[in-house]
Structure 1
Amino acid sequence: MYICPVCNGLYDYVKNCSLCGGKMELLDRVENYYDDYSPYLSYQLTDLNDGDSANICSHYCICPFCGNKEVVKIRNIEE
């Protein structure tokens, strides 16, 4: 089984904005923004729908300075 090191608090991910260079804020998993209930679904279920391989967890990032939004793909680690 794979786990996301960011979702599980194993390390902090730092991303700089591609537009202004500011430090972006890492938000939740992309799958958690599908609808009101998706944050409560199991990762195994939502991972079937995201199109990524089993060892990738996609997260939204937003720049607090310019508002740029990006998706970053975090490589999961094997548990």
Structure 2
Amino acid sequence: MGMCPLCNGFREVHPNCPDCGSGMEDNGREAEYYDDYSPYMPIDMMKLEDGYPKDMQDGECPHLFVCSECRAGRIMLIKE
């Protein structure tokens, strides 16, 4: 298992919104929004059920980004 640079605070990413062009903010790992206990589950276990079949194999961490203007959401796979 690698270390996600966003989860561990090594770097920040602020992509532009594909809908309106404004900056998007990282709202954390997508898996943390699945249910009440998701944030407390082991990351590798959540990767087996997150719907991204190659994220564990390719060392990627799915993050939810939300636009600060139009509130559009987008999932980005961050390389660990």
**Amino acid across the alignment from 1:58:** P
**Amino acid across the alignment from 2:71:** G
- Normalization by structure 1: what TM-score? 0.88
> RMSD over aligned Cα, in angstroms?
1.0
Q: Which runs of 4+ in 1 moved over 4 A?
A: none
- Structure 1 position 53 matched with structure 2 position 71: no
- Normalization by structure 2: what TM-score? 0.87
Counterpart of 1:5?
5
**Amino acid across the alignment from 1:9:** G
> 62, 66, 70: which is aligned to 1:62?
66
Counterpart of 2:28?
28
More helix, by proportion: 2
**Amino acid across the alignment from 1:56:** E
Count of aligned pairs: 76
Unaligned runs of 5+ in 1: none
Unaligned runs of 5+ in 2: none
% identical aligned pairs: 37
User: Partners in 2 of 1:49 and 1:12 — Cα distance?
Assistant: 26
**Amino acid across the alignment from 1:33:** Y
